[in-house]
Amino acid sequence: MAFSRTEVEKVKKVEKFDPVKRMGMEPPELDPKIPFIGHLIGMLRWQVGYMQMLSCKCPTWPAFTLRIFSARVYVICDPSLIQAAYRNAKTFDFGSFVVESSEKLFNISQQGMKIIRGETAPGYDPNGPLLNGNRGKSFLNEDHRIMMDSLSPGTCLKELSSKVLDGVAGSLNEVNDDGEVFGLYRWMRDTITEASADAIYGPMNPFTGNPELIDDLWHFERDVALLMLQFLPTFIAPKAYQARIAIKKAFASYYANGYDKQASGLIQLHLASCKRWGFSDDDIANFEVSTLFLATTNTVSTSFWQLSYILDDSELHTAIRSELTKVVRRQKSCRTGEERAILDATLLQSHCPLLLSSFHETLRLVGAATSVRSVVEPATLASAATNTSFALQSPAVIQLPSGITHTNPAIWGSDANVFNPARFLPSTKAALDKDTKRKQAQGYFPFGGGKHLCPGRHFATTEILSFVGAIILGFDVSGSRVPERAFQKLGTAVRKPKGDVDISMKRRRGWENVKWSFSVEGRGGEEEVKNLVVGGEELGDE
């Protein structure tokens, strides 16, 4: 979030952080103007941007503590400390956040919540540590493994990517030679949502030919934070509340009719796991709003912003268009005379470095996700790189806001708030000093980190690069601009545009009659996807 000069000046600076003096102590506290509830009011007012405002107040502090009533919230700003927190998944637990959000967002039954909390897992000890059932054999662990296995490089991911790109190609092929005028964000939103639903849930998914249900998904997404409050939802978030009911009803019918038999392997494994652990059909239908929500929300916004940034820079547009010619082949059918343009999605990362760099730069600028963890036992959070350590108490919450590190001039330089498409090129990074390289590698984490590094990152990256790449190479777009960013609500990882952008889009000269398709079977293959640099440090548990 960007703040005006007046707003930033209102934030009074505090003393410089002394790592020696604070060694082994709690992160210093930031006192609110209104005792007990001041920070809560700030979060509700500024939402995602509040932590960035506070960081402006104490730019030298690697971490700080907020007190809300008697609760502690630790906000970690230093990149090396953030990565240390990600590595220690046993002490800094993500499971409790999953449990809390499931209960508040998806209307799960009491029996279903017992399963999610791990209370039906073998060896569960009601007197043991929080969520101890999730530390071994449990539904949450099993479902996480299914997601990781299905969305890691392999056959299942290849099938999902192929199907979602078939849907994208279908939308591109509907654009005619004369040109069409539409809202760019809305068009990309609908294209990605329909294509993702078809790839994940099969041809009989509830969203096929149902634009109202697509709108419902995005009504839910827009006010997800308000639903989390569980306070008069029919009054403060009526569209989101009704959307959740509509989506649940649609999926109840989907499963009742056996349409899941045509769904992806991911859904079939997920469904089998749900039934094995004893979830009711009602709870299973309630879950499904989360799957498509996670598969589309950040992908849509990232695709929109990357395309907008490229279209706004004619030199960048020309350079990326030149790169893309290396990964597209055209062939004409001897029988029908139809010409096809086949984009090899497996070569995008190795043959289109500027496209890939602009993708990461887009995520750096518009991605401001905040990872949340629970401190389940007293612990020390330390960084050898900065010779800093803090004693963290339990119970408490840790927040790891990427919006702070992604635009920090101390990490990215004086142009930290400027779109620089070459910032992530290998040649650019090679010219950096060792300390800056480390800070940037640790301070860029658009997909989270540690054990819960976003399992869908490969799927989303392939979809975004392919969709944006095909538009750049095969179409002429006029009227595009980089719009203002909308206010970023809690629960939103990637900023949205403030209003849509009306554009005119038509086939590029020489590409008028081609039918677009995508290949995920090319020379790039699985090894290239495995080598995708997603930022931060892809580290496991300690």
> Helices in 29-94 by DSSP H: which ranges?
38-46, 49-57, 79-87
The single-letter DSSP state of residue 260 is G
Mean pLDDT of the 260-284 span: 95
Amino acid at 495: R
**DSSP reduced 3-state for 59:** coil
Q: pLDDT band at 2, cuts 50/70/90?
A: very low
Spell out the residues 6+ positions from residue 19 whose beta carbon is closer than 8 angstroms to its own.
Answer: 62, 386, 387, 388
Angle in degrees, 0-180, between the axes of helices 95-105 and 139-151, rounded to the nearest 10? 100
- Which of 309 and 388 is assigned the larger pLDDT? 309
- Identity of the residue numbered 60: T
* pLDDT over 70 (residue 9): no
pLDDT bracket for residue 292 (50, 70, 90): confident
User: Per the structure block, which two tokens stand in for 250?
Assistant: 């649609």
Q: Is residue 323 part of a domain?
A: no
Query: What pLDDT is attached to residue 236?
Result: 87
Query: Whose structure tokens read 């059909």?
Result: 281
Task: List pLDDT tens digits, range 18-62.
Answer: 655 566 789 999 988 888 899 989 988 888 889 989 998 888 899
d(CA 542, CA 540): 7
**Looking at the domain assignment, is residue 96 inside a domain?**
no
Sign of CA dihedral 352, 354, 360, 365: negative
- Burial degree of 257 (CB within 10 A; 0-12, 13-18, 19+): exposed
The pTM assigned to this predicted structure is 0.91
Has residue 233 got a pLDDT over 90? Answer: no
3-state DSSP call for residue 329? strand
Greatest mean pLDDT range, 203-217, 316-330, 523-537:
316-330
Find the mean pLDDT for residues 108-116. 93
Q: How far apart are CA 477 and CA 505, in angstroms?
A: 5
Q: Quote the pLDDT of residue 130.
A: 65
Instruction: Give the model's confidence band at 535: pLDDT under 50 very low, under 70 low, under 90 confident, else very high.
Output: very low
32: domain range?
Answer: 1-90+371-418
Q: So what's the pLDDT on residue 95?
A: 85
Residue 24 in any domain: the answer is yes
Q: Please tell me the predicted confidence (pLDDT) of residue 538.
A: 36
Which percentage of the chain shows pLDDT scores above 70? 91
Dmax (CA) of the chain: 79
Choice between 35 and 342, residue whose per-residue pLDDT is larger: 342
Known binding residues for heme are 454
Looking at residue 21, what is its pLDDT?
58
170-182 pLDDT per residue, tens:
999 999 888 889 9
Q: Can you read off the two tokens belonging to residue 396?
A: 């408490």
**In this structure, is residue 393 part of a structural domain?**
yes
Question: Does pLDDT of 10 surpass 60?
Answer: no
DSSP codes, 468-492: HHHHHHHEEEES---PPBPP--TT-
* pLDDT at residue 351, rounded to an integer: 97
**Region 57-71 average pLDDT:** 92
15 pLDDT higher than 80: no
Could you say which DSSP state residue 93 is in?
E
Confidence (pLDDT) at 13: 52
pLDDT tens-place string over residues 394-408: 999 999 999 999 999
- At residue 195, the pLDDT reads 96
| 247 vs 244: CA distance, rounded Å | 5
Q: Report the 10 Å Cβ neighbour count for 241.
A: 19
pLDDT score at 527: 40
375: Cα within 13 Å, side-chain hemisphere: 23
What digits encode the pLDDT tens for the residues 438-456? Answer: 999 999 999 999 888 899 9
Confidence (pLDDT) at 20: 52
Please, which residues bridge with residue 379 across strands? 392
Which DSSP helix (H) or strand (E) runs through 214? helix 211-222
pLDDT, mean over the chain: 88
Q: Domains in the chain: how many in total?
A: 1
Q: What is the pLDDT of residue 541?
A: 35
Task: Enter the DSSP assignment of 75.
Answer: E
- What percentage of residues in the chain have a pLDDT greater than 90? 66
Residue 214 inside a domain? The answer is no
Structural domain contains residue 46: yes
Spatial contact of 282 and 256, defined as CB atoms under 8 Å apart: no
Instruction: Tell me the mean pLDDT in the region 505-518.
Output: 94
Task: Assess if residue 67 is contained within a domain.
Answer: yes
Q: What is the pLDDT of residue 532?
A: 37
Q: Span 198-203, mean pLDDT?
A: 96
Instruction: Summarize the annotated binding site as residue ranges.
Output: 454
Does pLDDT of 410 surpass 70?
yes
Look at residue 70 and tell me if it is in a domain: yes
Distance CA 362, CA 436 (A): 20
Residue 386's pLDDT is: 80
At 227, the pLDDT band (50, 70, 90 cuts) reads confident
Q: What angle do CA 455, 457, 458 make, to 5 degrees?
A: 105
Q: Output the pLDDT for position 336.
A: 78
Q: What is the pLDDT of residue 287?
A: 87
pLDDT tens for 122-163 read: 888 888 766 666 667 899 999 999 999 999 999 999 999 999
The pLDDT assigned to 218 comes to: 92
Q: Which residue, among 182, 187, 171, has the nearest Cα to 517 in the 3D structure?
A: 171
* Distance, CA of 392 to chain centre: 27
Identify the pLDDT of residue 526.
Answer: 40
